[in-house]
Amino acid sequence: MSARRLDGKARAARLLGEVERRVGACKERDVRPCLAVVLVGDDPASQVYVRSKERRAAEVGIEARDHRLPATTTTDELLALVAALNADRAVDGILVQLPLPPQCDTQRILLAVDPAKDVDGFHPDNLGRLMLGQPRFVACTPQGCMVLLEDAGVPLAGLRALVIGRSTIVGKPMVQLLVHADATVTAAHSRTRDLAAEVARADVVVAAIGRPEFVRGEWIKPGAVVIDVGMNRLADGRLVGDVEFAAAEARAAAITPVPGGVGPMTIACLLHNVVLSAERRASPT
């Protein structure tokens, strides 16, 4: 048996089509959806990500305003920029590209973003709302994983789901979303004993560890659904996930590829969050 590939690229294109229609509807009401992108420093990977976000935004009619700051930017300078973007009524979403240089206090900066413009879903208000089951902006990567899980066609209620990785931007919100979908969720991480045994009993595996092919294909329970959040650049330039793809594919019922799986969904969900924010501006409740 070979797994069905959960095609994130195709799914993202469909979601972006919906976003584009909704952007058009906003414009008919004289609201022009706008995303402010803040990039500090010259990390090459961050520059690539930001460029592809801005390109996708343009494709769906969202204006992306670029704020590039030198690597020496201080916390106070960033706080001043965030305050200006919060106050700018034309800005629907604010994205501060991570990681920030070490002299910047990331937590303080994320806390300063107006939660109503926090399209990354990283502000404590939005993380707390998700915990309460009253989400406003859901972090883009976990949101994209849930869409792909829906496409896999497995009802999550009662299933055993394993989330590997406990980051604030992926693992923790992913656990919450799966709990709200009535899965039985285990949060595994670097200190988990016998990860192989945890994987072996999981009906759904979400891998967000950041180590190339760390999850062995032979650990996967036959018929499981595998969502690979990992994006690891090897020395030879190849991009691989956190799961040993070929071996996992032979056992799983469905699996996301890398590239072309979760990554494109993350960007589509970001722009989905921007249009949600613009729709609130168009029809305040």
Ligand X SMILES: Nc1nc(=O)c2c([nH]1)NC[C@@H]1CN(c3ccc(C(=O)N[C@@H](CCC(=O)O)C(=O)O)cc3)C=[N+]21
What are the residue numbers of the active site?
53, 97, 120
Rg (CA), the chain: 19
Q: How far is the CB of 89 from ligand X (least distance, A)?
A: 22
Which residue lies nearer to ligand X by CB, 33 or 261?
Answer: 261
Distances 232 to 8, 116, 139, 241, 257 between C-alpha atoms, Å: 17, 32, 20, 6, 13
Residue 264: cis peptide before it, omega within 30 degrees of 0 = no
Token pair belonging to 88: 């700018």
Nearest CA-CA partner of 162 in 117, 229, 89, 67: 229
Output the smallest distance, CB 161 to ligand X, in A.
22
Instruction: Using the minimum distance from each CB to ligand X, give the nearer residue, 49 or 219.
Output: 49
Q: Spell out where 61-132 has E strands.
A: 63-69, 93-96
Element at 270 (helix H, strand E): helix 262-282
Positions touching ligand X (CB under 6 A) are 49, 95-98, 120, 140, 231, 239, 258-260, 263-264, 266-267
29 annotated to bind ligand:
no
Nearest distance, CB of residue 140 and ligand X, angstroms: 5
Which has the closest alpha carbon to 144: 170, 165, 122? Answer: 170
Q: Which of 283, 284, 276 is nearest to 121 (CA)?
A: 276
Q: Is 165 annotated as a binding residue?
A: yes
Q: Smaller CB distance to ligand X: residue 5 or 27?
A: 5
Task: Give me the least distance between CB of 259 and ligand X, in Å please.
Answer: 3
CB-wise, 8 or 203, nearer to ligand X? 8
46 is an annotated ligand-binding site residue: no
